[in-house]
Amino acid sequence: MVDTSLLVIGAGPYGLAVAAYARHRGIEPTVLGEPMGFWREHMPRGMFLRSGPDWHLDATNVHTFEAYLAERGVDPAAVDPIPVDLFLAYATWFQEIAGLHVRPQLVTALRRHEGAFEADLDGRGTVSATTVVAAPGISHFTNIPHRAVAELPPERFTHTCFLTEVDRARDARTLIIGGRQSAFEWAALLADAGVDEVHVAYRHDTPAFAPADWHFVDPMIDQTVAVPGWFRHLPADQQDAVAQRFWAEGRLKLEPWLTPRMPESVVHRHPRTEVTRCVELPDGDIRAELSTGDVLLVDHVVLATGYRADITAVPYLADLPGLETIDGFPVLDEHMQTSVPGLFLTGFAATHDFGPFFGFVRACPAAAQIIVPELARLLEARAELSGQSR
């Protein structure tokens, strides 16, 4: 059995950022998960980031994405928008430079045992840990519009989380349900790949194709780090205003570089439209009924319908006694510690209490700065106690 003072479950941006900062502060972590697994396996190949070059993983502000580019003599303006592979290369560089050895193993169960944690690894061993930071991301939280696809065999529809490549035979005529960035990004990727017909159906107006400007987030992140519990202590109307601002930038805008990739002859938009029912016809076509009364015949349905938090859907947290939740999110203290002492949760799971920025890379350094000092304090207290009892 491996014994560690800190187990980090998840090796996406948040897991790597926290693990690197813990190591910087003298806490040697054990890190489990597929390094940037969500980005490699659940984001479309050929995708571009919505975020800019100033977003990075390093709480010490040294090994930034911009530093990575500078070391290679690359002008940030030359990589705008940023290809996903470039950010992945940065993350690999960051992991190496931070000296993080990530074990690509999944945790199947987590339990408290004699004041510590025990994590089972997919059939191969156990890790015992004094403290745990979990950064599960969003892949466990896919939101499925059940009414629309209830009658379809499962192989006829795919959530964008499980879609990475275009299959031209299967996707020749595709209906995309949803009308935000990932819906239109897939429309563009399908059109790029030369599919015949793409329909995008969504209940709202068509968002504006305008560049997002995320700089308004910077002072909020600074506040989050400087003032413990800053977001959670804001009055409800101010929290709503932050969420609205985020919504306006992220959801009411689409990246303008998508527009030329979506010829109207291929990509057909259906704003203010709900897909009410999809059925498979005897000849294999999918018949999709729209709330406008229109009917479409397609070969595949893509669900760009986003994510909805349900922390009990994370396999290793589902049966953990004492883990309190609210609206599917974990209840956290000011250090992102859950109601299970010594267990911290970060990333999207922390957005309810810490603000929407924690669903994005921008807040990775902040998460590390919030969690790691408290981890250090807990571990010191633990060491003192065990010293006294000897």
Ligand X SMILES: Cc1cc2nc3c(=O)[nH]c(=O)nc-3n(C[C@H](O)[C@H](O)[C@H](O)COP(=O)(O)OP(=O)(O)OC[C@H]3O[C@@H](n4cnc5c(N)ncnc54)[C@H](O)[C@@H]3O)c2cc1C
CA distances from 282 to 62, 199, 224, 286, 295 (A): 60, 22, 56, 9, 16
Instruction: Pick one of 2, 23, 34, 223: the residue that binds ligand X (CB under 6 A).
Output: 34
The answer to the question of residue 137 lying near ligand X (CB under 6 A) is yes
- The answer to whether the beta carbons of residues 8 and 127 sit under 8 Å apart is no
Instruction: Pick one of 6, 19, 22, 43: the residue that binds ligand X (CB under 6 A).
Output: 43
The answer to the question of residue 100 lying near ligand X (CB under 6 A) is no
> What letter does residue 311 receive in the DSSP assignment?
G
- Its sign, for the CA torsion 116, 119, 120, 124, is negative
The answer to the question of residue 50 lying near ligand X (CB under 6 A) is yes
The set of long-range contacts for 146-155, using a CB threshold of 8 Å and a minimum separation of 24, is 147/276, 147/277, 148/177, 148/274, 148/275, 148/276, 148/277, 148/278, 148/301, 149/278, 149/301, 149/303, 151/277, 151/278, 151/279, 151/280, 152/278, 152/279, 152/280, 152/286, 152/301, 153/280
Instruction: Pick one of 69, 106, 133, 286: the residue that binds ligand X (CB under 6 A).
Output: 106
| Span from 6-14, 66-74, 289-297, 326-334 in contact with ligand X (CB under 6 A) | 6-14
Instruction: Pick one of 347, 355, 356, 365: the residue that binds ligand X (CB under 6 A).
Output: 347
| Span from 44-52, 72-80, 151-159, 228-236 in contact with ligand X (CB under 6 A) | 44-52
Interacting residues of 145 by C-beta distance below 8 A, sequence separation 6+: 177, 275, 303, 305
Q: Rg of the chain's alpha carbons, rounded to an integer?
A: 22
Q: Of 297-326, which residues contact ligand X (CB under 6 A)?
A: 315-316
> By C-beta, is 83 or 341 nearer to ligand X?
83
Element (H, E) at 67: helix 65-71
Instruction: Pick one of 8, 30, 37, 132: the residue that binds ligand X (CB under 6 A).
Output: 37
Would you list the DSSP string of 94-155? HHHHTT--EE---EEEEEEETTEEEEEETTS-EEEEEEEEE---SGGGB---HHHHTTS-GG
Tell me the β-bridge partners of 325: 330
The answer to the question of residue 32 lying near ligand X (CB under 6 A) is yes
CA distances from 123 to 17, 38, 42 (A): 27, 22, 24
> By C-beta, is 33 or 145 nearer to ligand X?
33
| Span from 43-51, 57-65, 206-214, 336-344 in contact with ligand X (CB under 6 A) | 43-51
| Span from 130-138, 225-233, 256-264, 333-341 in contact with ligand X (CB under 6 A) | 130-138
> By C-beta, is 49 or 195 nearer to ligand X?
49
The answer to the question of residue 51 lying near ligand X (CB under 6 A) is yes
The answer to the question of residue 38 lying near ligand X (CB under 6 A) is yes
The candidate with the shortest Cα–Cα distance to 48, out of 13, 12, 88, is 88
> How many residues in the shown chain lie near ligand X by CB under 6 A?
32
Q: Give min distance, CB of 35 to ligand X, in A.
A: 6
Cα distance between residue 369 and residue 311, in whole Å: 23
The answer to the question of residue 10 lying near ligand X (CB under 6 A) is yes
Q: Give min distance, CB of 33 to ligand X, in A.
A: 3
The answer to the question of residue 52 lying near ligand X (CB under 6 A) is no
> By C-beta, is 130 or 346 nearer to ligand X?
346
> By C-beta, is 342 or 359 nearer to ligand X?
359
Q: x/- binding map, residues 138-157, to ligand X, per CB under 6 A? A: xx------------------
The answer to the question of residue 330 lying near ligand X (CB under 6 A) is no
Binding residues (CB under 6 A) for ligand X: these are 9-15, 32-34, 37-39, 43, 49-51, 55, 106-107, 135-139, 182, 315-316, 347-348, 360-361
